[in-house]
Amino acid sequence: MRRQIIKLVWPVILEGAGIMAVGVLLTAMVGRLGAVPLAAVGLATMLQFSTAMVFAAAGTGAAAIVARETGAGNWQEARNIIGQAILLGAVLGTGVAASGWFAAEFVLNLTAAEPEVTGLAGSLVKITFMFTPLFLIMSIGTAALRGMGKTQTAFYITLVSNIAAIGIAYVLVFGYGLPAMGPYGAAWGMGVAQLAGALAVLLVLHRQQKVQLSWRHVLVIRSKVIARIMDISVPAALEQLAMQSGRMVFTFMLAGVGSVQFAAHQIATQIESMSFLPGFGFSVASMTLVGQYLGKGMPHRAIQFAWLTNKIAWLSMTAAGVIIFMFARELTTLFIDDPQVIHWGTLCVMIAVLEQPTLAICFVLGGALRGAGDTRWPMYITTMGVWLIRLPLVYLCICVWGYDITAAWYITAGDFLIRGAILWWRFDSGKWAK
């Protein structure tokens, strides 16, 4: 059982490491330009990513159904699911891109960030939103591959995208042979990377022996297939909406602490994401294995795999958190040389270690429930944690009482503790398998 889990997990961890490396390198590049460009790029990227991730939930529905259908050996239905999910992503992404182009600056002006930051972010966000359809195609396609158990293939596609992002952004930001574009170069680099990833995933799905996705699977509308995807994807999308809109509000609140502490928060978030890698990998393994074994009519094996995956993830993320705690200051200095930003960033990273054990539970058991098609309970739990616990407390502590940025990180740790406990209870009840 452990070997089967690890076979699925390691490519996802490497894929996540690559994505994290891109974020780290882009943050480091822009960080050399100063705190204002760093804060502006962070706001613009957050707004586009947060909005797109709501609609990328179509990939969650597709992956869960694909896992079941491939477990049952029904590749024809899996092919139809993948094609229609990609169609949904392209259509929704186009709508998001158009809406974001016109509304993003208005939304940014609602934040508490300094005018200098919002002005630059407003220009950057128009670039990032243009590539939303490509981002969704890539996200949904790689999610479907993971649902099939093809985590290595998804890793290679993301690797292509990552290499494109780093190379192009480096040239454009600093102007090697071209006029230096500064923070705009980072935005264009990410966009071109999403184009490369979307083309790669479509090519792979077309050449995949048991899938052989063609344009007719994408462009011919199948209402029953779309309805099946939506039944699982809508709760997942609402979960993402609660999480990403909450993340935006959270970020807007924190922007009011000033450029120094806000830049420190962004850097700490990047560093903390290193400890997410094992959790995300085991989450995908849990979702895939639970879905496939339910498709095979073996719910007892699905339960066994989920608990074992949860145990390994808990140990891995806790260990990763301890290592990050030990080198918190050294890691922070890799991003910026401003002493004040380093001070606050180090404190935030140390507090983040408290989240790791319960984050593991949220990742794995949440993934197991989604793999079973029980996407409603993760939605309920996430909405409660973000909107009833985290945001009200952050508002009081940061906006009303004037505490520093570390208060927000302590509150976040408490949020994940409560969410993890409820997810444990829901999974242990066994009602999701019925």
Q: What is the pLDDT along the chain (434 residues), one digit of tens a residue?
A: 777 888 888 888 888 888 777 877 877 788 778 878 888 887 777 777 777 777 777 788 888 888 888 888 888 888 898 999 999 889 988 988 888 777 777 777 766 567 777 778 877 888 888 888 998 999 999 999 998 888 899 999 989 898 888 888 888 888 777 777 888 888 888 888 899 999 999 999 988 878 788 887 888 888 888 998 888 888 988 998 898 789 878 988 887 788 889 889 988 987 887 777 788 889 989 999 998 899 888 888 999 999 999 999 999 888 888 888 999 999 999 888 888 999 999 999 999 988 999 999 999 999 999 988 898 999 999 999 999 999 999 999 998 898 999 999 999 999 999 999 999 999 998 888 76
Nearest to 353 by CA among 390, 317, 386: 317
* pLDDT recorded at residue 434: 64
Q: What is the spatial distance between Cα 166 and Cα 411, in angstroms, rounded to a whole number? A: 34
Residue 198's CB: how many other CB atoms inside 10 A?
Answer: 26
Would you say residue 434 lies in a domain? Answer: no
Tokens representing 94 are 């186009």
Tokens representing 103 are 């509304």
Q: What is the pTM of this model?
A: 0.80
Q: If you search the block for the tokens 């290679």, which residue do you land on? A: 156
- Tell me the three-class secondary structure of 265-284, residue by residue: HHHHHHHHHHHHHHHHHHHH
8 A C-beta contact, residue 308 and residue 326: no
Q: How many domains does the chain have?
A: 1
Q: What is the spatial distance between Cα 154 and Cα 45, in angstroms, rounded to a whole number? A: 23
8 A C-beta contact, residue 344 and residue 264: yes
Residue 94's CB: how many other CB atoms inside 10 A?
Answer: 13
Would you say residue 282 lies in a domain? Answer: yes
* pLDDT recorded at residue 112: 59
| CA separation, residue 408 to residues 102, 104, 190, 339, 396 (Å) | 31, 25, 29, 21, 10
What is the domain range of residue 55?
A: 2-428
* Phi and psi, residue 417, nearest 5°: -60, -45
Tokens representing 307 are 């608990």
| CA separation, residue 395 to residues 269, 354, 390, 405 (Å) | 19, 21, 9, 12
* pLDDT recorded at residue 171: 87
Would you say residue 141 lies in a domain? Answer: yes
Q: If you search the block for the tokens 């009519």, which residue do you land on? A: 297
Would you say residue 433 lies in a domain? Answer: no
Q: What is the spatial distance between Cα 114 and Cα 130, in angstroms, rounded to a whole number? A: 25
Q: What is the spatial distance between Cα 294 and Cα 296, in angstroms, rounded to a whole number? A: 5
Q: What is the spatial distance between Cα 231 and Cα 49, in angstroms, rounded to a whole number? A: 23
Q: What angle do CA 36, 42, 46 make, to 5 degrees?
A: 150
